[in-house]
Amino acid sequence: MDVLPQLPQSEIFGVAAQLIFACWPGVLVIPMLGERSSPWGALGVWFFLLAVRAYVASNPLPSTNALAHFTLIPEPTNTYLFFAGGAFVALVIVLRRLRVARHG
């Protein structure tokens, strides 16, 4: 019987975090789709992704791991677009509040 190699728990979390952050454009758009779209939901998802990004940045995977540098968008463009996406979601929230305040 073959035994699977044991991976350290931090590496498992690192791989999961890397995959989640690599797909951030799709994850961030999900709360904005459908009839009950919510920019507040998107902002919450963005803050979750920010925490994931902080984990990925502070706990890099070993370079021997195939997913150590996996991204859909190359760095540093990926990070710039991520923060621009957060700013865009915040701007949508501010503009919606201004529109509601103006139209009572």
Task: Please say whether the beta carbons of 53 and 59 come within 8 A.
Answer: no
26-69 pLDDT tens trace? 999 888 887 778 889 999 999 999 999 999 889 888 777 777 67
**Domain ranges, ordered by start, for the chain:** 9-103
pLDDT at 102: 82
In the predicted model, is pLDDT for residue 74 greater than 80? yes
pLDDT at 89: 93
If you average pLDDT over residues 66-81, what whole number do you get?
86
